[in-house]
């Protein structure tokens, strides 16, 4: 059975085509910097048992353009891995916000309307996720599609972690609570850590650091007990275009005294803040380059970014009563040795000691690697996330039921 996985992010589309009879990867790729100058496609496919690679530099104004390129690459007469889209048996979609839904679902008109209705809870992602679904329906007619929600993994959080100290009616009637995100990724890398360490009861702090970023405390049962993203993905860490944690009173002040209306405030905090707001660049690689050139705003941005992560690590060490492993994953976590260094620096008291040479050696690894020093009490792991495989496995279960 061939399953295509679409993981549409705020500025990217990751995809994989897998043969689920053997869990074999057939093709995969990444379209990045959608809506940003310097767009790029990295497409990999198997030919004669060799993994071939194609790179295309192209700007993408929208996710629609990206989806069409994916179809063209998969069915290309020379490098394509399928002759026609009808060969795909099912499509699994990552959807960030599923409210209190705790399991994957077959996509119907009602599910699409549900995803649309709760889009304000994930304004950068749910619209992109839904667009990916609708475009896929156009390009892959009559192919069943499944939604796998990022928030599902965090349904295990206790009330003390997911409730806000506001009048109860807002939780009961309006479902205002912490939902979190990146759950598929956090769950996947924790399972990989448990397998690698040979300890199914390992307590971990998982750092999913990309254009969107979150940190999750996972207990010995493999359950999320707290996570940095909140009611929406805006909360928590500094991100590419999101502010992360901010005093709500500052927002009231911006409305009353700075002439910002509520619609502008939403756009400002979600799309114009974070790294972009501080440096003019939303991609960590661009911010790194500016910092190397001596840009004071970029240097401060990286310091603030890493400091925010440090604070959450400390908080979650307390919440877990100690952890045995720190996991770095996603675009920044897997590829940015400088930010990994800044995050782990001066955490010796917690038993977290980075080996600088190992850290610089292992960028974008294809397996689990350790980068802690010999005297570190805590394992520091880089684990490549594979949300697509996890989504494919969940998709297969749903398709089997129907």
- Residues marked active site are found at 150
Q: Which of 295, 375, 286, 296 is closest to 336 using CA atoms?
A: 286
Contact between 219 and 227 under an 8 Å Cβ cutoff? The reply is no
Q: Is 253 helix (H, G, I), strand (E, B) or coil?
A: helix
C-alpha–C-alpha distance, residues 4 and 191, integer Å: 22
Give the CA dihedral 347, 224, 275, 369, nearest 10 degrees: 60
Q: In what order do the strands lie in the sheet with 40-47?
A: 50-57, 40-47, 24-32, 12-19, 2-8, 90-95, 145-149, 105-106
C-alpha–C-alpha distance, residues 1 and 160, integer Å: 43
C-alpha–C-alpha distance, residues 176 and 102, integer Å: 17
C-alpha–C-alpha distance, residues 115 and 95, integer Å: 8
Q: State the CB neighbour count (10 A cutoff) for residue 219.
A: 19
Q: Phi/psi of residue 399, each to 5°?
A: -65, -40
């Amino acid at each position: 059975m061939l399953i295509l996985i679409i993981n549409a992010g705020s500025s990217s589309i990751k995809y994989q085509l897998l043969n689920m009879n053997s869990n074999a990867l057939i093709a995969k790729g990444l379209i990045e910097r959608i809506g940003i100058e310097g767009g790029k496609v990295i497409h990999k496919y198997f030919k004669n048992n060799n993994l071939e690679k194609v790179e295309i530099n192209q700007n993408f104004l929208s996710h629609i353009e990206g989806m069409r390129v994916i179809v063209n690459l998969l069915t290309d007469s020379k490098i394509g891995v399928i002759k026609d889209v009808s060969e795909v048996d099912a499509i699994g979609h990552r959807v960030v916000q599923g409210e209190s839904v705790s399991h994957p679902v077959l996509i119907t008109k009602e599910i699409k309307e549900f995803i649309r209705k709760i889009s304000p809870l994930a304004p950068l992602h749910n619209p992109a996720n839904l667009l990916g679904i609708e475009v896929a329906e156009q390009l892959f007619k009559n192919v069943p599609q499944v939604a796998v929600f990022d928030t599902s993994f965090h349904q295990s959080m206790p009330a003390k972690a997911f409730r806000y100290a506001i009048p109860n009616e807002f939780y009961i009637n309006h479902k205002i609570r912490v939902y979190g995100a990146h759950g598929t990724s956090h769950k996947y890398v924790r399972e990989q850590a448990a397998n690698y360490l040979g300890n199914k009861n390992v307590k971990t702090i998982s750092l999913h650091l990309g254009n969107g970023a979150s940190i999750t405390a996972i207990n010995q049962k493999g359950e999320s007990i707290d996570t940095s993203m909140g009611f929406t993905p805006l909360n928590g860490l500094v991100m590419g275009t999101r502010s992360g944690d901010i005093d709500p009173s500052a927002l009231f002040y911006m409305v009353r005294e700075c002439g910002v209306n509520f619609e502008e405030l939403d756009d400002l905090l979600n799309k114009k803040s974070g790294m972009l707001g501080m440096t003019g660049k939303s991609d960590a690689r661009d911010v790194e380059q500016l910092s190397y050139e001596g840009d004071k705003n970029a240097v401060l941005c990286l310091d603030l970014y890493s400091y925010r992560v440090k604070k959450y690590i400390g908080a979650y060490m307390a919440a877990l009563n100690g952890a045995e492993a720190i996991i770095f994953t996603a675009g920044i976590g897997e590829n940015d040795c400088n930010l990994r260094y800044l995050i782990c620096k001066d955490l010796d008291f917690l038993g977290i000691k980075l080996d600088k040479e190992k850290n610089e050696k292992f960028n974008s690894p294809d397996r689990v690697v350790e980068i802690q020093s010999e005297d570190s009490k805590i394992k520091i792991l880089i684990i490549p996330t594979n949300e697509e495989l996890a989504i494919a496995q969940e998709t297969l279960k749903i398709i089997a039921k129907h």
